[in-house]
Amino acid sequence: MNRRSFLLTTASLISPPADFLRNAATGEISRPADDGRNLVEGLAQAPNVSSSGPWYAVMRRCGQINYNDRDPLTIDAEAWGDYWASLKVDAVLLNGGGIVAFYPTQVPHHHRSEFLGTRDLFGEMVAAMKRRRIRAVARMDCNLAYEDALKAHPEWFERNQDGSPRPHGESPWLFATCMFSTYFSEQMPAIYREINQHYPIDGFFTNGWPSTGALPVCYCKNCRRLFEKLGGVPPTETDASNPLYRKYYEAYMDRVQEIWHLWDNIAHERNPQSVYVGNLGGGLDTVKDLKQISQVAAWFNADHQGRSGETAIWDCAQQGRVAYSVMQGRTVTNVAGAYSNAQPTWRHVSKAPAELTLWLAQSTASGMVPWFHWLGGSPEDTRWREVGRSFFDWLAANEAHFRNRHSLADVAVLYPQRTVAFYSRPNSRRPRHRGGPIDYLQGLYYALLEGRFFFDFVHEGDLNPVTLRKYRALLIPNAAYLGDTQCNVIRQYVKDGGSLLATFETSRYTEWGDSRRDFQLADVFGAHAAGEVIGPKGNSYARMEAQHPILEGFKGTALLPGAENRVSITADSIPLVLSVVPAYPAFPPEMVYPRTPRTTEPAAVFREIGNSRVAYFAGDVDRTCWRSGNSDLSQLLQNAIRWVSGPDSVVSVNGVGLIEAFAWETEPGYALHLLNYTNPNMTHGAIRNIYPLGPQQVRFRVNERRSIKTVRALRAATNLKFQQQRETVTFELPGIADYEVVALV
């Protein structure tokens, strides 16, 4: 039967009873006592969570089946219930509505699936989960709607500058809705209330909103009125140097919080333990203020489903660190797509099992709850299923060891979101040649991995004495845009004995990018800006002028690679350790010699102030390290991190291979997570094979008077021999395949 015949045959069966109506103003719904579609009435709810918190606060495994418009013809709800039960998930995300309703909706202009017929697919899926005592969360989409809604409510939709609506790039029969319209404040609440009153769901999730990407500029009547109130008209470009854009940014963030509050309150109307969770995108490159959003988010979902192109494998773990920095122990999930995320994307074939497993492992190791995701209700490729089942079964068997209390890291890395959001963007006044705004952080991150440091991210919005108190050192990868408040906190942190490493233009601009005459932290650095940025220039160098711990391991050379860009600085009577050798031609060979082989210009400043140590690099050594892959620059950064952070870290792991490590205090004791990144596909292409590492020597400091009884490798399911002397536990881990978790109890 073709689509047209199917629709004609079922048209008379789709219309619901007339008294299944809603009042748009109040959200009230009336319906007959039994209309034949209320499949979940009377089913047992999932068990209530203890007084320790809401159900999602203790969730450890999550799933999602993203069925499509045609799936009502073939999807088997009970089979999907069996699959998710086999993964022992706590909750499953199920398509409810928004773009397409998968239940017999009565909300005007809420487009019902064209293949739904007499089915209530959403109701069947919720019922299947509830029968297996799995939480059901309605997956919604608020970003697009059909043309009939556009014709009836043109005020709901985004507009281009010429007044035309914005069709979706691949599905042009759908049009983008505007967040500042009543589509968000009236239409979506009506849909939520309809679902809430007919199905015993445990929460709502919106796909793609609010996201963390760049702010769109809309020219609809709502947005034109908003800009009039702000003092102008919608700009053609977004530029943080524009005072009007700054006001718009703040108004946009206020609207996000307003809508989030509204939808969360609606989620609570039927069930106080229900929750609304938004989609906060993925990765380090965020524009919207994560810290501000976290103030209204009970649950942070990162939609970081996979990687493609030249993205490093540890991108998922970075996501976990960013989310943890703003949520402070509250629920964080990360969506792991089981499909191929390559460029191009293939939505209906499986990701390489090794890649998928390591992505799930990173989610878990970094403190996130893995959320396993597939698109399409009747898959022809099922290879992904066993990958999820195997990993989730292991998680469930060892669940207690993944209930983290807090991180044991004693080094902090600043996540400089204003710099990430506004510095070196296409419309920014900062020159683009300095590279992407996350390259600085990536270079420092790579050095931290090579040096096997244990560290946390600290969001710049959470810079305060209480947050920094637990860390021996704060590392700042070019936080060029930094407010006075944050600078004062950093200054006091150093004054109180904390150590600091910073690079390049850190504190050279305000949080909006207005230039300062000097670094705001010049007194802390012991260095002053003496001019504008020099660069990009290759073939420049740093000359070693004096012995210093940061130069250990560089025997046989007087020169180190120089940063591609640098700020010319003067130093405050501090001994010269590294001096600048200015760039000179790299071609042709006859011209390759230094025109100025020696200067007194510092390439870096290293100083001790009481118990504090400060290392400031005038160049973008972190970015240059990342873009070049130069081992000397990585070693220089590692030496500097060791110098500022000092000896005797809480945990150390020695052995061969590139790993990422996390250490947590857990409910039963402690857990050490080790991720093996030693792989030729570490930064390109999907990981398809695992290259196991050999023995690793571990030293782990536990709390005083804590006697460890067992040290167990959970993936290998093996108890390890160990020794404990006072608070220090030492043991050898025989090896690491892709991922190992060692539990100390």
Give the pLDDT confidence of 478-504 residue by residue, as tens digits.
Answer: 999 999 999 999 999 999 999 999 999
Topology of 3-143+188-214+256-405 in CATH?
A: TIM Barrel (3.20.20)
Tokens of 228: 């009039």
Q: Is 121 helix (H, G, I), strand (E, B) or coil?
A: helix
Give the pLDDT confidence of 542-598 residue by residue, as tens digits.
Answer: 999 999 999 999 999 999 999 999 999 999 989 999 999 999 999 999 999 999 999
Q: How confident is the model at residue 430 (pLDDT cuts 50, 70, 90)?
A: low
What whole-number distance in Å separates Cα of residue 373 and Cα of residue 392?
Answer: 13
Say how many Å lie between the first and final Cα of the chain, rounded: 61
Strands (E), 619-668: 651-654, 659-666
Give the pLDDT confidence of 641-694 residue by residue, as tens digits.
Answer: 999 999 989 999 999 999 999 999 999 999 999 999 999 999 999 999 999 999
Q: Is 321 helix (H, G, I), strand (E, B) or coil?
A: helix
At residue 52, the pLDDT reads 63
What whole-number distance in Å separates Cα of residue 596 and Cα of residue 582?
Answer: 7
Contact 223, 179 (CB under 8 A): no
Question: Quick check: 707 pLDDT over 80?
Answer: yes
At residue 343, the pLDDT reads 86
Question: Quick check: 7 pLDDT over 90?
Answer: no
Give the pLDDT confidence of 44-57 residue by residue, as tens digits.
Answer: 344 333 446 899 99
Q: Which of 4, 2, 30 is nearest to 17 (CA)?
A: 30
Count of positions (residues) in the chain = 745
Give the pLDDT confidence of 209-250 residue by residue, as tens digits.
Answer: 999 999 999 999 999 999 999 999 998 877 888 999 999 999
At residue 53, the pLDDT reads 82
- Look up tokens 């100083």; give the residue: 607
More confident residue, 8 or 194: 194
Give the pLDDT confidence of 27-85 residue by residue, as tens digits.
Answer: 333 333 333 344 444 443 443 334 468 999 999 999 999 999 999 999 999 999 999 99
Q: Please tell us whether the domain made up of 651-744 is placed in CATH 2.60.40.1180.
A: yes
Burial zone of 709 (CB within 10 Å; 0-12 exposed, 13-18 middle, 19+ buried): exposed
DSSP state string for 203-240? EEEEEEEE-SSPPP---SHHHHHHHHHHTS---SS--T
CATH number given to 411-645: 3.40.50.880
Q: How confident is the model at residue 613 (pLDDT cuts 50, 70, 90)?
A: very high
The residue ranges of every structural domain in the chain are 3-143+188-214+256-405, 411-645, 651-744
Tokens of 186: 């009236």
Q: Which of 338, 91, 326, 367 is nearest to 204 (CA)?
A: 91
Q: Is 277 helix (H, G, I), strand (E, B) or coil?
A: strand
Helices (H), 496-545: 522-525
Kindly state the percentage of the chain with pLDDT values over 90.
88
Parallel, antiparallel or unpaired: strands 299-302 and 331-337: parallel
Give the pLDDT confidence of 134-149 residue by residue, as tens digits.
Answer: 999 999 999 999 999 9
Question: Quick check: 17 pLDDT over 60?
Answer: no
